[in-house]
Amino acid sequence: MDSRTKALCDFLDAAHSVYHAQAYLAETLKNAGYTRLYEQDEWALAPGGKYFLTRGGSALVAFRVPQGSPKGFLMSASHSDRPTFKVKENFELAAAYTRMAVERYGGMLISPWLDRPLSIAGRVTVETEAGVETKLLDIDRDLLLIPNVAIHMNRQANEGYKWNPAVDTLPLTGGKENAGKLQTLLEEQAGGKILGHDLYLYVRQKASVWGVGEEYLSSAALDDLECAWGCTQGFLNGDFDLAQIPVLCVFDNEEIGSETKQGAASAFLPETLQAIVDALGLTDGDYRRLVANSFLLSCDNGHARHPNHPELADANEAPVLNGGVVVKHSPRYATDAVSAAAFQELCRRAQVPTQHYANRPDQAGGATLGNIANTKLPMNTVDIGMAQLAMHSCFETMGSRDVAHFVRAVTACYEAVLTFTDTAVEIG
């Protein structure tokens, strides 16, 4: 395993919730010399300065200030959340066993969650003398499990069984004699009385590089933590043009529509860009000019051709693992001829292989971070990602060599000098 893939696996193994993912990336930025800003403060930005800010404990935006008059924003966007189970506020169900009340977050594959060790991670609010304090919490042990029903009692289990999440996906936490003890365990970890929580289940299996040639990487939350990590690496690696404003965006809540204060549909990114323009002493006209000459990488993984079911993919546009960065096409995506051409040319110059994805015509695609963000910021955008298998499973698979492909592609885009017109782009 090379050092870059090892670093990605370390991140995946640490980011058991959106809050842990954001904290990890924020610490990475701080270690790279980025200064934290707060939305409620006035900003004093220095030429060449490096800054980041967070929102909701689960989203962040980082940027660098140019030395000269800015030409535009070079941006990437990814998301920190994944389909999982959210722990309910009153979570204990006690009878013959002690179980936990949970609800689904996002569109998940249910069956892979069963019969494997799970635990809990997220954030809690704790009572203090000064008021309320938010703390990250991760119970680092095999704590609970969702047991399957034996085949003898569910003969339809392998024949399209219809799951009832109110019955079939309640985790077992202990015997009836342990009623009430989980709350005590959580408060011991938190260091005080818990007033509220945003807690989620996660699988205990660590990220794994496997295959005869170690060509595959499997982990929880590859969609979309791989892109969040890869975009951060490209952002930090880039040798930026002095007149560009590079921006890194990691949003939350993509899996449930992005319509939250920390989602791509929020004002988080437009307000941040406006605050940068204001702090640089520029005008609203400058803001409009900069946005018009900007480029956004909308980064979220795409479906690879399945080895056992190739018929489910489009015949001509079905990427494979380790085949390179995927350019995603759909009438519902932000990719168009100009943005796709610009991205592919930058990849060609950086010697990064690319491939294409499109839905089969009888399958509907979903929205992306790009077209959601474009409703607030009309800019040239391309939807890209890594090819992966088992999307929205609790344990997904991608090509291990695509890690380097993706980071090199993002780095090349952050280093680009682009000049857009309404229908064309000049690549310096």
Residue 16 — pLDDT band, cuts 50, 70, 90?
A: very high
Which strands, in side-by-side order, build the sheet including 208-210?
Answer: 208-210, 216-219, 396-399, 387-389, 302-303
Q: Which residue has the higher pLDDT, 157 or 72?
A: 72
User: Is the distance from CB of 98 to CB of 173 less than 8 angstroms?
Assistant: yes
Residue 364: per-residue pLDDT: 76
Joined tokens for residue 190: 């938190």
Residue 244: per-residue pLDDT: 84
pTM tops 0.75: yes
Residue 361: per-residue pLDDT: 86
Residue 228 contacts by C-beta under 8 Å, 6 or more apart in sequence?
Answer: 21, 25, 78, 79, 80, 250, 299
Phi-psi region of 390 (alpha: psi -120 to 50; beta: other; left: phi over 0): left
For tokens 């169900």, what's the residue?
93
In whole angstroms, what separates CA 37 from the centre of its chain? 22
pLDDT tens-digit series, residues 220-251: 999 999 999 999 999 999 887 777 899 999 99
Residue 139 — pLDDT band, cuts 50, 70, 90?
A: very high
User: Is the distance from CB of 70 to CB of 246 less than 8 angstroms?
Assistant: no
The C-alpha atoms of residue 218 and residue 211 are separated, in whole angstroms, by 10
Angle between helices 3-14 and 18-31 (to 10 degrees): 130
Q: In the 8-state DSSP scheme, what is residue 144?
A: B
Task: Name which of 181, 210, 186 is nearest 198 in CA terms.
Answer: 186
Residue 52 — pLDDT band, cuts 50, 70, 90?
A: very high
Residue 54, pLDDT > 80, answer yes
For tokens 């399209």, what's the residue?
160
State yes or no: cis peptide before 13, omega within 30 of 0: no
Residue 100: per-residue pLDDT: 95
Q: What mean pLDDT do residues 81-95 have?
A: 94
Q: What mean pLDDT do residues 56-67 have?
A: 94
DSSP-derived pairing of the beta strands 295-299 and 380-385: parallel
Residue 376: per-residue pLDDT: 87
User: Is the distance from CB of 411 to CB of 237 less than 8 angstroms?
Assistant: yes
Q: What mean pLDDT do residues 157-161 have?
A: 84
Name the strand (E) or helix (H) holding 369: helix 369-374
pLDDT tens-digit series, residues 334-365: 999 999 999 999 999 999 999 999 988 888 77
First to last CA, the chain: 35
Task: Name which of 81, 14, 24, 16 is nearest 52 in CA terms.
Answer: 24
Rounded CA Rg of the chain: 22
Mean pLDDT of all residues belonging to the chain: 93
pLDDT tens-digit series, residues 312-331: 999 888 999 999 999 999 88
Q: Which residue has the higher pLDDT, 418 or 216?
A: 216
User: Is the distance from CB of 171 to CB of 144 less than 8 angstroms?
Assistant: yes
User: Is the distance from CB of 252 to CB of 372 less than 8 angstroms?
Assistant: no
Residue 161: per-residue pLDDT: 85
Residue 410, pLDDT > 90, answer yes
Residue 48 contacts by C-beta under 8 Å, 6 or more apart in sequence?
Answer: 64, 65, 66, 67
